[in-house]
């Protein structure tokens, strides 16, 4: 247990918790007054070559093209060739009839999936707001993004990824308001797990019932059939009633098949491709999609596809016999009364109520949300990724031309300044805690250990990435030198810099298991040169299976402890205590 004089001792108490919660809410209110710009649709820009054009311009072009396509479909349907094609491959139900109506498993999984996806999309947009730029290269060089939700990166000053965040309306993001990626991730991942679970339940039923034949195309005739339906719908004819949603036509079947067997798996696989633990262990995995940023872009586009599908789906449900269709999907009866409509309205009202509650809860009971997420998402992540040490090495040519700096505060204490002005000659890295041999090491002594170099991909929680070469002391050697006590499970890293505007040092913790990995480094060089001040001079961490926020910069001291619970508010780090992040993040 820490002694009284220990400046890092635990200060967990209900009063402290209330204070942290209040600070969190206050910062949100302050930030909304103008530190971060709000997302505005007028500021969403797509890059065409070297120019950025407003997304409105593109949507205008798309609407124009849409009108042309509708006109062409109408002309074609009226032509003799067109009508021949349409009679030959009529847009009629192709799936076998279901005498007993829509089965219960379809109705329930459909409803729950809708609910889960609303949360996943909204919290996903909130994650995006933390780095509102999408790239095709893994480097994330400003000006090279293909889509951005705010203006260009200022060139005349240091611009951190934290400053680049935007504010979302709570109508769009969950929780909305000030950027808060920790909270957004708790919602996103918890509901991801539910989404996968319901998907598994659905698949089990699907593959053990004849429903499978309604969904999986088995005949090539589905292609001309779907084309015929596309022409029918595009020429604005909507077969009403008879077909409805009880028997699928070719286009319907193909679309549902694609949503379930293409979009959903793609969402999961591209989500995983953003994981430092996976990427830095298995180079082939992010390569399936190109790289982490392509995976991230696809992840976003899959979300767009889900939203577009939802809009089209609802439009067709309404246009082809609203009441009857809603009876099919809610009650499994094909009647024409308003029962299904009543249920549907109630479900929408419930989903809205849940979202309103979730936004409020996010700002008032953030610790509860974090705890639940740590116990579920956190444990699962550990299970899935804990055992593999990162080992991927990039080539020199892969090094990023631009590496985003990221922090809330640079070190500005008199202590650090005095050390910096003397080129860190007087710097002593203090390594203490539950160790047999506490040490204080000068930079010279640290360098004398022998340097390890590695070229790795940095994964920031906010979304950007970058490749750099790091040189420094393998942490395993330091462990060997200080000989930790057997009860040590975590190691604390304290920075010279403040963690936020409110003061209080930046710090974070790592499991001793992660620190023994061959790629865990105390780095003092970056890209073959002395570590720049911006990136953490004199010392910063590299723990390549974890996200960037755990790589403490400007390290002043290291402490071996039994558990991070014994330090400060007990959640594992500054971001964990103040921003309610998860304590370990392998994705």
> Are the beta carbons of 320 and 239 closer than 8 angstroms?
yes
Phi, psi of 441 (to 5 degrees): -115, 135
- Smallest distance from ligand MTE to CB 116, Å: 29
Q: Is residue 229 close enough to count as binding ligand MTE by CB under 6 A?
A: no
549 interacts with ligand MTE by CB under 6 A: yes
- In sequence order, the β-bridge partners of residue 100 are none
Residue 405 makes contact with ligand MTE by CB under 6 A: yes
Q: How many residues bind ligand MTE (CB under 6 A)?
A: 18
Is residue 583 near ligand MTE by the rule CB under 6 A? no
Between 248 and 506, name the residue whose CB sits nearer to ligand MTE.
Answer: 506
Q: Phi, psi at residue 468, to the nearest 5°?
A: -145, 160
Binding mask 490-509 for ligand MTE (x = CB under 6 A): -----x-x--------x---
Instruction: Give the x/- contact pattern for Mo ion in 432-461, rule: CB under 5 A.
Output: ----------------------------xx
Take residue 119 and report the two structure tokens written for it.
Answer: 């949360």
Helix (H) or strand (E) holding 202: helix 181-208
The helix-helix angle for 366-373 and 181-208 (nearest 10°) equals 50
- Out of 250, 408, 446, 515, which residue is the one contacting ligand MTE (CB under 6 A)? 408
The C-alpha R_g of the chain, in whole angstroms, comes to 27
- Phi and psi for 573 in degrees, rounded to 5? -175, 175
- Residues in CB range of 352: below 8 A, 6 or more apart: none
Map the footprint of ligand MTE across residues 423-462, applying CB under 6 A: 460
* Smaller CB separation from ligand MTE, 162 or 324: 162
From 552, 558, 569, 587, residue interacting with ligand MTE (rule: CB under 6 A): 552
Q: Nearest approach, Cβ of 549 to Mo ion (angstroms)? A: 4
Q: Least distance to Mo ion from the beta carbon of 459, Å?
A: 8
**What is the closest distance, in whole angstroms, from the C-beta atom of residue 556 to ligand MTE in the complex?**
9
Residue closer to ligand MTE by CB (options 134, 460) is: 460
Positive/negative CA dihedral, 534, 538, 544, 546: negative
Tell which positions 528-557 bind Mo ion, by CB under 5 A.
548-549
Q: Which window, 36-44, 305-313, 482-490, 545-553, contacts ligand MTE (CB under 6 A)?
A: 545-553
H or E segment and range at residue 188? helix 181-208
Between 150 and 542, CB nearer to ligand MTE = 542
Residue 560 parent element (H or E): strand 555-561
Task: Choose the contact partner of 506 out of ligand MTE, Mo ion, none; CB within 5 to 8 A by kind.
Answer: ligand MTE
DSSP 419-471: HHHTTTTT--EEEEESBSS-EEE-HHHHHHT--EEEEEEEE-TTS-EEEEEEE
Q: 340 vs 548, which CB is nearer to ligand MTE? A: 548
* Residue 497, contacted partner among ligand MTE, Mo ion, none, CB below 5-8 A by kind: ligand MTE
Residue 554 contact, options ligand MTE, Mo ion, none, Cβ 5-8 Å cut-off depending on partner type: ligand MTE
DSSP-assigned states of every residue in 53-117: EEHHHHHHHHHHHHHHHHHHHHHHHHSHHHHHHHHHT---B-SPP-TT-S-HHHHHHHHHHHHHH
From the list ligand MTE, Mo ion, none, which binds 552 (C-beta under 5 to 8 Å, kind-based)?
A: ligand MTE
Q: Does the footprint of ligand MTE cover residue 580 (CB under 6 A)? A: no
Exposed / middle / buried, residue 486 (Cβ in 10 Å: 0-12, 13-18, 19+): exposed
For residue 107, give every residue at least 6 positions away whose Cβ sits within 8 Å of its Cβ, in sequence order, or none. 329, 330, 331, 332
Phi-psi region of 52 (alpha: psi -120 to 50; beta: other; left: phi over 0): beta
CA gap 145, 134 in Å, rounded: 5
Q: Which does 475 bind (CB under 5 to 8 A by kind): Mo ion, ligand MTE, none?
A: none
> Considering the complex, what minimum distance in angstroms separates the CB of residue 461 from Mo ion?
5
Q: Rounded to whole angstroms, how far apart are CA atoms 483 and 481? A: 6
Q: How far is the CB of 404 from Mo ion (least distance, A)?
A: 8
User: What is the smallest separation between the CB atom of 343 and Mo ion, expressed in angstroms?
Assistant: 44
Could you list the residues that contact Mo ion (CB under 5 A)?
Answer: 406, 460-461, 548-549
Q: Which residues bind ligand MTE (CB under 6 A)?
A: 403-408, 460, 495, 497, 506, 535-536, 548-549, 551-554
């Amino acid at each position: 247990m820490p002694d009284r004089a220990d400046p890092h001792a635990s200060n967990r108490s209900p009063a402290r918790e209330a204070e942290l919660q209040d600070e969190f809410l206050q910062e949100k209110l302050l930030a909304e007054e103008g530190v971060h710009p709000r997302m505005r649709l007028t500021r969403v820009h797509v890059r065409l070559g070297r120019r950025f054009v407003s997304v409105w311009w593109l949507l205008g072009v798309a609407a124009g093209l849409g009108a042309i396509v509708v006109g062409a479909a109408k002309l074609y349907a009226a032509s003799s060739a067109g009508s021949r094609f349409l009679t030959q491959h009529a847009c009629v139900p192709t799936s076998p009839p279901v005498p007993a109506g829509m089965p219960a498993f379809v109705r329930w999984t459909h409803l729950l999936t809708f609910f889960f996806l609303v949360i996943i999309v909204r919290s996903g947009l909130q994650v995006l707001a933390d780095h509102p730029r999408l790239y095709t290269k893994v480097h994330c060089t400003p000006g090279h993004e293909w889509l951005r939700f705010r203006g260009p990166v200022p060139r005349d000053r240091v611009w951190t990824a934290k400053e680049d965040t935007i504010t979302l309306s709570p109508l769009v993001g969950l929780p909305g308001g000030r950027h808060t990626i920790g909270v957004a991730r708790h919602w996103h991942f918890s509901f991801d797990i539910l989404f996968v679970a319901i998907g598994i339940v659905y698949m089990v039923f699907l593959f053990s019932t004849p429903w499978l034949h309604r969904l999986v195309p088995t005949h090539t005739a589905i292609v001309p059939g779907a084309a015929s339906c596309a022409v029918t719908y595009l020429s604005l004819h909507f077969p009403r009633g008879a077909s409805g949603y009880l028997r699928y036509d070719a286009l319907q079947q193909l679309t549902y098949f694609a949503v379930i067997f293409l979009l959903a798996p793609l969402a999961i696989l591209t989500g995983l491709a953003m994981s430092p633990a996976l990427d830095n262990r298995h180079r082939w995995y992010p390569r399936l999609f190109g790289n982490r940023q392509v995976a991230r872009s696809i992840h976003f586009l899959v979300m767009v596809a889900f939203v577009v599908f939802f809009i089209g789906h609802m439009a067709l449900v309404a246009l082809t016999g609203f009441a009857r269709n809603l009876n099919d999907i809610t009650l499994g009866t094909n009647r024409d009364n308003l029962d299904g409509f009543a249920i549907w309205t109630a479900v929408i009202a419930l989903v809205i109520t849940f979202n309103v509650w979730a936004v409020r809860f996010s700002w008032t009971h953030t610790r509860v949300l974090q705890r639940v997420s740590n116990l579920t998402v956190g444990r699962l992540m550990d299970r899935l990724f804990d055992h593999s040490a990162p080992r991927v090495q990039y080539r020199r040519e892969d090094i990023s031309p631009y590496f985003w700096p990221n922090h809330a505060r640079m070190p500005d204490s008199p202590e650090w300044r005095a050390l910096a002005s003397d080129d860190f000659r007087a710097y002593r890295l203090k390594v203490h805690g539950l160790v047999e041999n506490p040490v204080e090491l000068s930079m010279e002594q640290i360098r004398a250990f022998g340097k390890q170099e590695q070229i790795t991909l940095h994964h920031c929680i906010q979304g950007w990435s970058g490749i750099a070469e790091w040189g420094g002391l393998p942490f395993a050697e330091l462990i060997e030198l200080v000989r930790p006590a057997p009860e040590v499970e975590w190691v604390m890293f304290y920075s010279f810099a403040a963690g936020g505007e409110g003061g209080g040092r930046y710090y974070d913790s790592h499991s001793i298991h992660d620190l023994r990995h061959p790629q865990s480094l105390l780095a003092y060089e970056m890209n073959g040169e002395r570590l720049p001040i911006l990136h953490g001079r004199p010392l910063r961490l590299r723990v390549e299976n974890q996200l960037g926020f755990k790589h403490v910069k400007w390290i002043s001291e290291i402490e071996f402890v039994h558990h991070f619970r014994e330090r400060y508010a007990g959640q594992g780090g500054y971001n964990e205590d103040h921003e309610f992040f998860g304590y370990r993040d392998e994705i």
